[in-house]
Structure 1
């Protein structure tokens, strides 16, 4: 089982281009997290009892419609509320949906503190092809004792955006940017909690 997890995790790690490229259509999603070495003992399997998402107010936000704004948070996939709150809710939903896939031996609380969410501006999403660069710190605690089982561990996720033509097609059928990112996060966060 551990070998299968390692093979699956390795298959998810790809070379990542810069935040903006215009190289044709790609739908590869990259998970960049430390892989266990052969000598490491496997972590216990988890059942997630609770998820706590922290999006610090100290993270800077850009609303500029430039190609690559300089900020911790660049996100256009929601309306209403602050960008910090939008991302907290998005991560909570995705982490809970992902956690439902885990039926392990140890009940845990997963704490994720967002350190960067650099998505796409409207200009980049509809004109170029870029990626979503997402980083957070993961701490896994025993749900019964509160003891730290794993972490803090820095996790980086990189999701390639669809080509602008595909973005228009997705929009036309009602598949929003938020849905696209959430669908990716559900699987990625579940994967992060399995190694």
Structure 2
């Protein structure tokens, strides 16, 4: 698809649409960006984890229907968006890990590759899709060896819109709370179910994210 076609498509779509037990602790030794190897195996126990959000991921703070960029996040005050995304992943992992309680102790290394939630303009009008992507590896705690190849995961979540979004905020079901709970489910499914987490099918809005 040419750049001109993508640009025109984005402009047209933006007019009406938008994109979008001991509890383990995060460890400091996150892996280098290029070092991932890993895939889930049955009967795992998550003993520790790392989360990396590379500084190479581009942040966009523009309040448009679909801000271009790797990280779009407005659920925290203005600040270090990379650190805010990392904190959400760590919160999801802390709550999920005690429920992944098999016999093989592993370290789970996660690297975020995209975190495109909704801008204010999108959330309070037409809604969209929280486009969340990451990859991970598993490392056997006893041997220190990785388990299998890297796995890429898409974990999209439908975003609320307009009155539904405001009502959810009033109940305490903020974007942040919904996404952390979603990440909890994603990690449990990924490491306990055959085939892992299956990304939701969210229609045209989801497809726009891939343009």
TM-score w.r.t. the length of structure 1 is 0.76
Cα RMSD (Å): 2.0
For structure 2, which runs of at least 5 residues remain unmatched after alignment? 1-12, 19-39, 197-211
Paired residues, number: 159
The more displaced of 56-65 and 161-170 is: 161-170
Match of 1:154 in 2: 152
Q: How does 1:72-151 map to 2 (within 5 A)?
A: 72-79=70-77, 81-151=79-149
For structure 1, which runs of at least 5 residues remain unmatched after alignment? 1-17, 23-41
Q: How does 1:169-184 map to 2 (within 5 A)?
A: 169-184=167-182
Q: How does 1:48-59 map to 2 (within 5 A)?
A: 48-59=46-57
Q: Return closer, same or farther for 1:61/1:188 CA change in 2, 3 Å cut-off.
A: same
| 2: CA distance, partners of 1:178 / 1:138 | 22
| 2: CA distance, partners of 1:172 / 1:96 | 25
Note if contact 1:136-1:155 (Cα within 8 Å) is conserved in structure 2.
yes
Instruction: Report the 3-state secondary structure (helix = DSSP H, G, I; strand = E; otherwise coil) of the residue aligned with 2:124.
Output: helix
Match of 1:186 in 2: 184
Structure 1, residues 26-73: CA drift from partner, whole Å, max 9, x if none? xxxxxxxxxxxxxxxx92211100110000001000000001111000
Task: After the TM superposition, list the runs of 4 or more consecutive aligned residues in structure 1 that deviate by more than 6 angstroms.
Answer: none
Q: CA deviation at 1:80?
A: 5.6
Q: CA deviation at 1:21?
A: 4.4
Match of 1:68 in 2: 66
Match of 1:32 in 2: none
| 2: CA distance, partners of 1:147 / 1:60 | 32
Note if contact 1:44-1:105 (Cα within 8 Å) is conserved in structure 2.
no
Query: Which structure has more strand as a fraction of its residues?
Result: 1
Instruction: Report the 3-state secondary structure (helix = DSSP H, G, I; strand = E; otherwise coil) of the residue aligned with 2:148.
Output: strand
Structure 1, residues 134-183: CA drift from partner, whole Å, max 9, x if none? 11111011112221113311111110012322111011223221111111
